[in-house]
Amino acid sequence: MQKMLFAGMTALAVMTATSLAHAQSRTGGPELPRVTAADLNALTDARVAVIKSTLQLKPDQEKYWAPVEEAIRSRAKARQSRLANVTTGTAERADRGLIETVRDRNPVEFLNRRSDALAERAAGLKKLAAAWAPLYQTLSADQKRHLGLLAVSALHELRTAAEERRMQGEEEEEE
C-alpha cells in the first residue's frame, strides 16, 4: 500500500512540476528549459504506468485496459495541443501587435471561445468515463479504493496547481 501511494505521489509531483515549470517560464521568472513533446509523452507514460501498477490488474481485467489507456493518451494529446495553441497563438498575436488590452477585449467572443474549449474538454472526459466503465465494474473493492485514493491525490494536486496559476495571473495583472 505504501509503495502504491509513493508511486502515485511521485507521478503527481512530476505532473505538478511540469505545470509549474511551464508557468514560471511565462511569468518572467528564471528561464527554465522548454518542455518538449518527448517530455510530455514520457510524463503520460509515467501516469499510465502509475495507474496500471496501482490497480494491479488481474489477467481477466487486462482486456479492459487498452481502451482506458487509449483514452488517457488521447486526453494527454489534446492537452498538449491546447498548450501548443496557446503558446503559438500568443506569440503570433504579439508579433502582429494584436495583444489586446483589457479594455479592448470582447467578452462575448471570449465566452464563445471558452464555451467551445470547455465543450471539447467535456467530450474528452465523456470518452474517458466510457472507457473506464467496463474496467471499473470488474475491479475489486481494494482496487476501487486504491483508484479512489489516487484520484483524490491527483485532484488535490490539480487544484493546487490551478490555484497557483490563478494567483500568478492576478500578480501579472497588478504589474
The beta-carbon contacts of 3-6 under 8 Å, at least 24 apart in sequence, are: 4/53, 4/54, 4/146, 4/150, 5/149, 5/153
Question: Quick one: pLDDT at residue 4?
Answer: 54
- Contacts (Cβ under 8 Å, ≥6 apart) of 46: 11, 14
- If you average pLDDT over every residue of the chain, what do you get? 79
Is 48 in contact with 77 (CB distance < 8 Å)?
Answer: no
pLDDT of residue 20: 44
Q: What pLDDT is attached to residue 175?
A: 60
Mean pLDDT over residues 34-48, rounded? 88
CB atoms within 10 A of CB 86: 12
Pairwise pLDDT comparison (127 vs 169), residue with the higher score:
127
> Nearest to residue 26, comparing CAs of 93, 75, 83, 71?
83
Separation CA 128–CA 72 (nearest Å): 7
pLDDT at 32: 56
